[in-house]
Amino acid sequence: MKPKLLVVSGPSGVGKGTLLKRVFTESGLPLTMSVSATTRKPRPGEINGVHYQFLSEEEFEKKRNTGEFLECFEVFGKGTWYGTLRYTVEQELAAGKWVVLEIDVQGARAVKDQFPDAVLLFIEPKDADVLKERLLGRGTETEDAMQQRLATALEELQHAHEFEYRIINDDLEIAVKQFIDIIKSKS
């Protein structure tokens, strides 16, 4: 079985995390999540090296300049950087793992350019109202950050058509099954 790179995008608040957790436990495939780097501050309960590598702006910039990122972008307007570390991805692929990147639309494009075999999946909500409710109900961000997330989320929805596979995360059971069926068809 050839190791695969899976890129999962979709707006904040669409439930990618919950969906991916189920896919990880139920697919039976050797999936591993790539830990991105970010300049965002950790949320309560987030662990450095597990959820993200939390870096200062200087540290992030240094890695950017030395080409350590496979891709990196400012995701929510100015100032918050996220990036995929090239070394981790290559190491896991070499170990035979299927590497899952949960990254934004810009990142997905950049990965596809470098890894044309990467499988791109877009997770979308039933409609934009569901997304708004979920995002605003989260309560983990300041009002400004929330509005910026919402604007980015609505913008991201406009790019769903660029993805090979689209999954509507309305009924979680159905979404999990669709996701697993798609990636199994690639093995």
Cβ of residue 67: shortest distance to ligand 5GP, in angstroms? 15
Sequence-ordered list of residues with C-beta below 8 angstroms from that of 100, at least 6 positions apart, any chain: 6, 7, 8, 20, 31, 32, 33, 34
Which of 5, 55, 71, 150 lies at the binding interface for ligand 5GP (CB under 6 A)? 71
To the nearest whole angstrom, how small is the minimum distance from the Cβ of residue 28 to ligand 5GP? 26
Size of the site for ligand 5GP (CB under 6 A): 15
Are the C-beta atoms of residues 1 and 155 closer than 8 Å to each other?
no
Instruction: Kindly tell me which residue out of 103, 121, 135, 167 binds ligand 5GP, with binding defined by CB under 6 A.
Output: 103
Nearer to ligand 5GP, 89 or 183 (CB): 89
Q: Contact between 82 and ligand 5GP (CB under 6 A)?
A: yes
Q: Report yes or no: 53 and 37 within 8 Å, Cβ to Cβ.
A: yes
Query: Between residue 16 and residue 45, which ones bind ligand 5GP under the rule CB under 6 A?
Result: 36, 40
In the β-sheet with 98-102, what is the strand arrangement from edge to edge? 31-33, 98-102, 5-9, 119-124, 165-168
Token look-up 């495939």 returns 29
CA dist., res. 57 & res. 107, Å (int): 19
Residues in touch with ligand 5GP (CB under 6 A): 9, 12, 36, 40, 71, 73, 75, 82-84, 102-104, 106-107
